[in-house]
Amino acid sequence: MASAPLTTAFAKAIVHSDPTRDIAAMDAARTAIIDFLACTIAGATDRTTGVLAKAVGADLPGEAILVGSDRKTDVLVAAVVNAYAGHVLDYDDVHASVRGHPTTVIIPALLALAAEREFSAEAFVASYVVGLEAMARLGLSLGSKHYENGFHATATLGPIGVAAAICHLTGASVEETAIALGIAATQASGLRLQFGYDTKPYHAGMAARSGLLAARLAAAGFGGAPDFLDNPVGFHSAYAFDAGKPELVSANWAAPWQIVSPGLTLKAYPCCTASHPVASLGIELNGEGLKAHQIETITFTYPPGADAALVVTKPTNGIEARFSPEYVFSAALIDGALRLDHFDERPVEERIMTLAARAGRRHDKAAPRMSTDPTTRFVVLDITLKDGGTINRRFDGLPGVTDPTDKFRDATAANPAFADIPTLVRSMKTEADLSRLLSLLNQNPV
C-alpha cells in the first residue's frame, strides 16, 4: 500500500486508536447511546418499521436482536431494521462535521455484531467513538458541495464509519481495514430527494448493513481496492466536486475526538435539525403570549445553504412536515411544544397550516455560507402583526439537550421494561454488562 498514503494513514488511525484513555470521549459516547436507544425503542413501533422488517426478511433465523421487541433475526437484517428504527422519527442525533446522523448507523451494526462475537461493553463504546471519528473526518474532507449537490451524508459516509468501527473492534490489520473501507465506500449512496419519504430513514439502514457487510467481506479475504482515498477515480474525485481537502481524513486525528468537539447535537425536537432554531423561537414566543391570529406575515432569513435540508414548504402530512420550517414554527407557536404526534403519518392540521401559509424564506447573501462549523448557523425571524407592529428575533447555533434521560423516559413512554437502560449504559464495561443491555433491549413493551 505504499502508493496509498492517505488511505494507509486513515486505516492506521482507525486500527491504533484507543478512546478508552479519554474520559470525556467515552462519557459523551455513553450519553449519545442513551439518546439513540430512546429514538430506536420509540421508532421500533412505527408502522413503517414493521413494513421494512417484513420486506427485508426479519423472520429469518438468527441471533441478532431487534430492538424494542423479543424477536431475533439475521445479523445483516438486524442492522438494517434497528438503524431504520433509530432514524424513522428523525429524533436522533446529528454531527456538524458529518452533516448527518452517525449514531443511528454505527450502533446498530455494533449491536448486530454482538450476535457473532463476544466483546466488552467498553470495547463497544470505544469502537463507536472511532467509527464516528472516521465519519466526521470524511465529512470535513469532502467539503460542502457533496451535501448541497444532493447526497445524504448519513448514507454516503455511514458505511465507511461502520466499517471503521467494526475493524477497530475486531482488531483488523491496517491492510484489511483499508480494503474494508474501500468496499464500504463503493456502496456509498443516498440522495436528499428522499427527505420526507420512508426511504430517508432507510438510508441509515442500508448504510449500517453495507458497512457491516464490507468489514465481514474483508475479514473473509474478499478482495477490493486498497486505495479508496488516493485513487484518481476514488472517493473524493467522485463525491467532493472539487471542494474537498482529502488530507483532513487523518490530520489531527482524535485531537480532540470529534465526539467531544464539535460534539453531537442531541435533538430537542423530533424533526429535521435545520428547523430547530425556528422551533425554539416559536416556543419562546408562545411563552410570551403571541397568538396566531395576531400575525400577518412571517419571514425566515437563513445564511446561504442553511435550509438545504428543509425541502418542504407545504407539507400534507407529519412526515413531510419534519422538513418544513413553516410548519415547525407554526406548530411550536400554537401549541408551545413539539411532540412526536406533530410529525406522524396523519394529514397536517388546518389550524397549523393556516399560519404556516403566512410564512416565507429568504437568504442573507452577505452572510458567510453555512459550513460544517455550527457557529455559522443562524436564522432571523421577522414577524409583522395585523396591528402594524413587528417582532424581530435571531437564533444562532442549534438548540439541543445535554442529558437525554428525560427524553429517554418520554420516548419510551416511561415503560418499566426499559427503565434500567440509561443507568446501565452510563456504567457498562464488561461482556456481562453488554449481554445485559442486549437482553433489556430485546423485549416487547409491556
Give the pLDDT confidence of 43-86 residue by residue, as tens digits: 999 999 999 999 999 999 999 999 999 999 999 999 999 999 99
The predicted structure's pLDDT at residue 372: 64
Closest residue by Cα to residue 198 from 52, 43, 77, 42: 52
Express the helix, strand and coil content of the chain in percent, nearest 5 each: 55, 10, 35
The predicted structure's pLDDT at residue 278: 97
The owner of cell 416556543 is: 283
Residue 367 is placed in which grid cell?
452572510
CA distance 300 to 279: 12
Asked if residue 1 has pLDDT above 60, the reply is: no
CA distance 306 to 362: 11
pLDDT greater at residue 305 or residue 315: 315
- Average pLDDT on 87-109 reads 97
Q: Residue 90 region, left (φ>0) first, then alpha (ψ -120 to 50), else beta?
A: left
pTM reported for the whole predicted model? 0.94
The predicted structure's pLDDT at residue 444: 85
HSE-CB at 332 with a 13 A cutoff on CA atoms is 24
- Asked if residue 85 lies in contact with residue 105, where contact means CB atoms within 8 angstroms, the answer is no
- Average pLDDT on 219-243 reads 96
- Set out the domains of the chain in order of their start, with CATH numbers: 5-267+415-441 (1.10.4100.10), 273-396 (3.30.1330.120)
Asked if residue 287 has pLDDT above 90, the reply is: yes
The predicted structure's pLDDT at residue 102: 98
HSE-CB at 343 with a 13 A cutoff on CA atoms is 30
